[in-house]
Amino acid sequence: MKKTKYFQKIAGLTVLLFALFACDPQIDDAVDIGTAPTEDQLDFTITQGSTPFKFVITNTSSITGIPNWDLGNGSKSTAASPIATYSLPGEYTVTLTLVTKGGTATKSKTVTQTETDYAIFTDEKFVFLSGGADDLDGKTWVLDSLTYGHMGVGPAGTEGLEWWGAPALAKSGVGVLYDDAINFNITGFVATLTNHGESYVKDFEKDNPAYSNPRENDTDYIVDYNPSPGTWFIEERDGKNYLTLSGPTPMFPCFDVGSVDGAYQILTLEENKLEVVTTGGDGNAWHLKLIPQGYVKPSISADLTIADAGEPNTFDVSLSNVSIPTGESISKVTFDFGDGDPVETTDYTATASHTYMRQGTYTITVTATTSIGDVNWSGSAVCADNHPDYVPFLLDEMIVYNDFSEVALQPVLGQDCSVSVMDNPDRSYPNRSAYVAHYSKTDNEWANANMQLPTGYRFDLRSISTFKILVYGNAGDQVLLKLENTDRDGNAWQTGTADLIYTIQEDNTWEVAEYNFAGVSAGWDWTGDIFTSDVTTDDNFSHDFYNVIRIMLNPGNGAGTHEFYFDDLSGPHVEGIKSATIN
């Protein structure tokens, strides 16, 4: 009796419940009866299911059409026989709308529930999500913005991270997303979205009548929106748990992806973690990860030690003062020494030793794989000289750095322009490659494609000083190639070679563009310390200096869009690297 009296005091207990869903039928599947159906041609049965709180609803209409169900508990379905849950006493109106090519008809029936499913009020899932009956204010959740995958998308039927997972604070530029919150209260099963008058929605949701003043932001839209309170419920179906949200206006966990029937499959639900995936309005799987508002995650901390091992260019790397919160763990530690394959160990107390053969400054990164995510530490190892055992490898022939099909010494990236791998527009001599690079810039004078050598490696111009690329574009367009040294960071341009330019001779024909740096000057004499009249004969420039190739189309011309294709970026053998990597 005490329990009964308690629940009688819960005002407005509205249950929201999940129905079994089939793939959405299409209007073409409906029967053409010539005229609109009538109510007397519609019928359905409501029978007791596997528990006193589950009911099987079956369409028994005398005509064939597409059933659209309002189950009277906030849930909707297009299944032939949905299963609805009514966990609290009350009358629930079930409405069938049958859609045919001739039109629609509607029929309603009432389900009377006299029993209460008290188990839901102590069910761990309900307590984790809402705080339970003892939390009168409910429990508020926000996107776990500091964690990878707090938003994501993938193909239907997956967990929604295969195509894209949001890195930490990936949408910080949106402004209205990370301060939104959703509250779940077990009293009345009320869901309340707090959005401060604005919400972030997918582009295909921006025209929802509940939204106004849509403005594009980072591929999707910010809209003006004042949500009304809605309802929530959790139900198990086919061994999986689903959180269903509904309301008079759109109800969603901070980011509206047009969730089909407001159903979110629960992947993880713990006291401080909610992870769900839902089918969005685009048919894709959308992933969301939330944490309680104000919750501070436990952290794993350590100090990174990089010590001279007493041998030339050899360093001992380890983690010390490791602090692991109770209940958490480290399963793997990865040592990346910045010049080759990483080393892994399951012992986070282990020391990893590494010897560098070439002089240079190397970034060492140690990554701990932990129960609360990856934790990273980084530091530097400085090698003033080559290792005594290092034997320079010199090769008097050119090599291909990147052919965008099979060989890739290093990637070619775009600065203020796009550089993408595309199908070869003309697979004929002299370029029968399947794939090539496409360069495109818009309204930018100095946009460039660039390739930077790995740490410790530099071009050697003493024996061979020629670089080549295959080009394909508009006759008269100019393709510049120059070299730079990144040691001066933002002032790398001060080290650059004089411009070498190849002018494309014919429209849309593969041509060999050759750039010979013999006799080419570099730097700026006014800097006082970086200048030469010939980069191939000056020891300050001819080797152990240049590490970047930059390629520009129509340099100095910043009006409009300029584009061309290029392939087989080649040049002198890189001392210390015997060959490019074969993909």
Q: Three-class SS string for 160-186? A: CCCCEECCCCCCCCCCCCCCCEEEEEC
Which residues, 6 or more positions from 62, have their beta carbon under 8 angstroms from its beta carbon? 41, 43
What are 452's two structure tokens? 């930077």
φ/ψ (deg, to 5) at 532? -150, 155
Contact status, residue 466 vs residue 514, Cβ threshold 8 Å: yes
CA angle, 303 then 304 then 309, to 5°: 135
DSSP β-bridge partners for residue 582: 407
Diameter of the chain measured on Cα atoms:
98
pLDDT at 10: 34
Q: pLDDT 10s digit of each residue in the chain, 583 long?
A: 233 333 333 323 333 333 323 334 454 555 555 678 999 999 999 999 888 999 999 999 999 899 999 888 777 788 889 988 888 888 999 999 999 988 999 999 999 999 888 888 889 999 999 999 889 999 999 999 988 899 999 999 999 999 999 988 999 989 899 999 999 999 989 999 999 999 999 999 999 999 999 999 988 999 999 999 999 999 887 789 999 999 999 999 999 999 998 999 999 999 999 999 999 999 999 999 999 999 988 889 999 999 999 999 999 999 999 999 987 899 999 999 987 678 999 999 999 999 998 888 999 999 999 887 789 999 999 999 988 887 664 455 788 899 998 888 899 999 999 999 999 999 877 888 889 999 999 999 999 999 999 888 899 999 899 999 999 999 999 999 999 998 877 788 889 999 999 999 999 999 999 999 999 999 876 555 678 999 999 998 999 899 999 999 999 999 999 999 999 999 998 866 654 443 4
Protein fold of 398-572: Jelly Rolls (2.60.120)
Q: How many CB atoms lie within 10 A of CB 447?
A: 22
Coil, strand or helix at 442: strand
Domains 11-116 and 301-383 share a fold: yes
Concatenating the DSSP letter of every residue in 480-526 gives EEEEE-GGGGGGGGGGPBPPEEEE--STT--EEEEEE-TT--EE-GG
pLDDT at 19: 32
Q: Is 285 exposed, middle or buried (0-12, 13-18, 19+ CB in 10 A)?
A: buried
State how far the alpha carbon of 448 is from the alpha carbons of 210, 412, 471, in Å: 45, 10, 15
φ/ψ (deg, to 5) at 16? -115, 125
CB neighbour burial string for 70-103, b if at least 16 within 10 angstroms, e if fewer: bbbbbbbbbbebbbbbbbbeeebebebbbbbebe
What are 250's two structure tokens? 């759109």
| Distance, CA of 74 to CA of 15 (rounded, Å) | 7
Contact status, residue 170 vs residue 161, Cβ threshold 8 Å: no
- Residue 8's H or E segment, with its range, is helix 2-8
Phi-psi region of 174 (alpha: psi -120 to 50; beta: other; left: phi over 0): alpha
CATH architecture of the domain 120-292 equals Beta Barrel (2.40)
| Distance, CA of 290 to CA of 166 (rounded, Å) | 13
| Distance, CA of 21 to CA of 7 (rounded, Å) | 31
Contact status, residue 234 vs residue 242, Cβ threshold 8 Å: yes
| Distance, CA of 403 to CA of 570 (rounded, Å) | 9
pLDDT at 16: 32
| Distance, CA of 79 to CA of 58 (rounded, Å) | 9
| Distance, CA of 482 to CA of 501 (rounded, Å) | 9
What are 435's two structure tokens? 């794939």
pLDDT at 392: 61
What are 284's two structure tokens? 């894709």
Instruction: Report CA Rg, the chain.
Output: 32
pLDDT at 14: 32
What's the CATH class of domain 301-383? mainly beta
Beta strands 198-201 and 255-256: pairing type? parallel
pLDDT at 36: 85
pLDDT at 18: 32
| Distance, CA of 143 to CA of 141 (rounded, Å) | 7
| Distance, CA of 354 to CA of 352 (rounded, Å) | 7
Q: What superfamily does domain 11-116 belong to in CATH?
A: Immunoglobulins (2.60.40.10)
Q: What HEC string does 326-389 produce? A: CCCCEEEEEEECCCCCCEEECCCCCCEEEECCCCEEEEEEEEEEECCEEEEEEEEEEECCCCCC
Domain ranges of the chain: 11-116, 120-292, 301-383, 398-572
Report the amino acid identity of residue 199. Answer: S
Contact status, residue 516 vs residue 483, Cβ threshold 8 Å: no
Distance, first Cα to last Cα, the chain: 72
